[in-house]
């Protein structure tokens, strides 16, 4: 198993361990990330209802697992940049889906400072043509 698959498996196992119900149908984890700032929203579906929960409720540090995944994915494709948002969906039948967004501005509850975006770009450099317009405007 490669390092990225291993990270994804660790994240999904840790999230499932924190779902406060045994009757869940789907679990979703929505992530916004830049180098020193990660925001996670987590929901599970049960009988048509979507309920939020703390994915780190039992002390398993999912934030650091997500940080490591982002770093590892960058290392596997340097100069592409790191993703800004991710969505993980886990079904109770074991199906696991992921989506990573490398281009759209992450929607944090509180807007990160320009310095944080500059730091992210320095930590995860991109080819000039792969820097989104919103980021160019933000850092200039």
| Per-residue pLDDT tens digits for 23-76 | 999 999 999 999 999 999 999 999 999 999 999 988 889 999 999 999 999 999
Q: Helix, strand, or coil here: 49?
A: strand
Domain of residue 61 covers 3-139
Quick: pLDDT tens for 81-133.
999 999 999 999 989 999 999 999 999 999 999 999 999 999 999 999 999 99
Number of domains, the chain: 1
61: domain CATH number is 3.30.500.20
Residue 1 pLDDT > 60? no
Rounded to an integer, what distance in angstroms lies between the CA atom of residue 62 and that of residue 42?
A: 11
| pTM passes above 0.85 | yes
Task: For helices 3-18 and 62-76, give the axis angle rounded to 10 degrees.
Answer: 160
Q: What pLDDT is recorded for position 7?
A: 93
Task: For residues 126 and 10, give the distance between their C-alpha atoms in angstroms, rounded to a whole number.
Answer: 27
């Amino acid at each position: 198993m490669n390092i990225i698959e291993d990270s994804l498996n660790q994240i999904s196992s840790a999230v499932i361990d924190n779902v406060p119900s045994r009757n869940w149908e789907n679990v979703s984890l929505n992530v916004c990330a830049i180098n020193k700032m990660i925001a996670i929203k987590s929901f599970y579906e049960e009988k048509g209802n979507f309920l939020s929960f703390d994915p780190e409720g039992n002390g398993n540090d999912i934030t650091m697992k997500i940080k490591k995944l982002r770093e590892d994915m960058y290392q596997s494709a340097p100069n592409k940049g790191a993703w800004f948002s991710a969505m993980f969906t886990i079904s109770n039948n074991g199906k696991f889906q992921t989506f990573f967004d490398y281009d759209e501005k992450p929607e944090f509850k509180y807007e990160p400072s320009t310095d944080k975006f500059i730091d992210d770009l320095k930590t995860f450099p991109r080819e000039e043509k792969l820097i989104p317009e919103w980021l160019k405007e933000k850092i200039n």
